[in-house]
Structure 1
């Protein structure tokens, strides 16, 4: 990747011109699109993290086949940019490394992520410059989602042979500390949905794994042929609690554990989208996700991907929701973390279509938003937005 296009929104145009020579302002707010000399190549982002030098590390994927991209799982791509968003370096891992997932997990000053080699799960270790420093074979197949857990890693995987959702605790040195499988009872339509997810030829499933505020492990994925939120102590193959969706047509889009059994969440149901900034979920029994209500957002694309983080803006704890609108922009919605009240919104994108991948709070109290845009309307490219604390403050109701 040699070229970098800087896209200036109308909202940024006056700001950028009047502060062209101020490096401090330039790095607090910018937009970058990273193009490639291979015009028809395909790259997509998976996660972004700020590095110790103030720059950013982007984990992504790349198509390995120019002929029929639906035949191959994506390869692994890493890109390092500086604190102004300017390209420094990138790495395309060997074609044997496939199926990368996020997020980038930081432990002991290094980033970690999971992918596969020969359909065996690998734990990859990366330094802040984007250099791979170690590769650890974990075993098992098809990683779906990961998270931190008190110095270890949680991994949700798809056990192809036994048709199970597998939740494991992985140590930083690659050992499996604990693991449990939950029966999918895969039907043809479920198998097709899972296959399309991994090949990226269909809807991306909202896989997630984590730990609730009341100490239970959870995963968002398939259980009994339905997208479900499953709670477990990892001591039994029988869930402690289950919130059921409907096949792959309804379920949670994203969850952020708060206190006890409350969550900031988003859900989808047959194309409709709902935001639930403070919802109580039964972690020890059965429930239906479609009964949870929520604030409807018809401006979002059907079954929209959603990302949720907690941050502080103008001294107030805020929940930030990021998603994709029907007008091909990235929408940021802000909610008061304490009351759950809507606090404001902000939109990214103007002429090109944009889609969100992830958001992260930055060291200067701003936000970095990583996503995909399309060159000539069809070739996907990675983009990075940096929003300043002043812009965020202006988006919040006073």
Structure 2
């Protein structure tokens, strides 16, 4: 029997190795991973995922801090099959409330956070493994809310709690201010400021703050203006906005917005718990618009005031708008629409057994989709998860 084992063992190992290589190739295209943590009390909130040059993935997340009102910082690097390469679980706790997405500029990844002492915005530069590359740079602005790329620069939306205004600022990748800050009043009174401050507190209601440029070059921000959560169009140095899409105080507004060209946007909005998807809408960047008049597709299956993420997924054959959101059944919904005519093309629901919530989604180098999210193990332990969909799975969604 021993001789037979000696004869057949190499063959068994060879077959196993071939199967393992085949399985690895399949896992590169499609996988699902949950990342547990030995700390029983650990809780994570994924903010963004980006694919790195080695085809792995870098995840930025918030982490519960037991001795702070703010959220700590956690970074996770995995390889192209979702296996852990590196994690940064000991980020200096004087830096809190990470703001994404991760911005790739000049070969490095950037995000913004704030310090616990003065709530000053700080620029963090990372390498592809999630380790700090250089020093953390103070920006001289308070309460950072949203960031985006602007060529090789960074657009920052922040809150000035002394002048009670939303500030827009353009930064270089090294943290120097190249334009702004330009500020717009949120209105007077503590009740106007309260939802903004609560946004920064662990367990507080989170608002979908955003900033970017339209295809025509105007700056837009999604935030508070004149007592209302609104979409504001403006430029650096302007005394007043060029255009405003008003929400309903803090009970209504855009939950996501993305320019797709020539005055056209993809967006979603919330209004007193209801959700409306707008895969194709022309927004006026000059003048006043009332958000409730914009309509949209209603989806009762989505959670009230659902978190929504938008992806412009493009291939040689198809351009699609993919909405990622949370359902009342505690799954992650992917809803795809044709960019050209706004028609619905397909849906997919991610997650089973445990509750799931979306962090963000991206198009991958193989034209698939990667989704980072949170799942609650045993219904109560918040852990990061990643879904990787293959190109073929995405084609089933978008065609």
Candidates 107, 110, 129, aligned match of 1:109: 107
Of stretches 195-204 and 107-116 in structure 1, the one that deviates more from structure 2 is 195-204
Asked if structure 1 preserves the Cα contact closer than 8 Å seen for 2:49 and 2:59, the reply is: yes
| 1:1-398 map, 5 Å | 21-65=22-66, 71-91=68-88, 92-117=90-115, 118=117, 119-134=119-134, 135-179=136-180, 180-312=182-314, 315-397=317-399
Shift of 1:21: 4.5
- Give the distance between the partners of 1:259 and 1:49, measured in 2 at CA: 23
Shift of 1:282: 1.1
Asked if structure 2 preserves the Cα contact closer than 8 Å seen for 1:154 and 1:170, the reply is: yes
Of stretches 84-93 and 179-188 in structure 1, the one that deviates more from structure 2 is 179-188
1:53 match: secondary structure: coil
1:133 match: secondary structure: coil
- Give the distance between the partners of 1:133 and 1:29, measured in 2 at CA: 31
1:138 match: secondary structure: strand
In structure 1, stretches of 5+ residues that fail to align are 1-17
Asked if structure 1 preserves the Cα contact closer than 8 Å seen for 2:155 and 2:170, the reply is: yes
- Give the distance between the partners of 1:222 and 1:205, measured in 2 at CA: 10
Shift of 1:313: 5.3
- Give the distance between the partners of 1:390 and 1:354, measured in 2 at CA: 23
TM-score after normalising by structure 1: 0.92
Asked if structure 2 preserves the Cα contact closer than 8 Å seen for 1:184 and 1:225, the reply is: yes
Q: Deviations over 1:186-229 (max 9, x none)?
A: 54443332222111323210100001122110000000111000
Shift of 1:151: 1.1
- Give the distance between the partners of 1:219 and 1:175, measured in 2 at CA: 21
Distance 1:133 1:393, change over 3 A: same
Distance 1:259 1:21, change over 3 A: closer
1:139 match: secondary structure: strand
- Give the distance between the partners of 1:130 and 1:87, measured in 2 at CA: 12
Cα RMSD between the aligned structures? 1.5
In structure 2, stretches of 5+ residues that fail to align are 1-18
Larger Rg: 2
- 2:7 is matched with none
- Structure 1 segments, 4+ long, off by >6 Å, are none
Shift of 1:379: 1.7
2:205 match: secondary structure: coil
Shift of 1:396: 3.2
Q: Deviations over 1:291-332 (max 9, x none)?
A: 001111111001111111111257211111100000000000
Q: Deviations over 1:356-377 (max 9, x none)?
A: 0100010111000001111221
- Give the distance between the partners of 1:374 and 1:110, measured in 2 at CA: 32
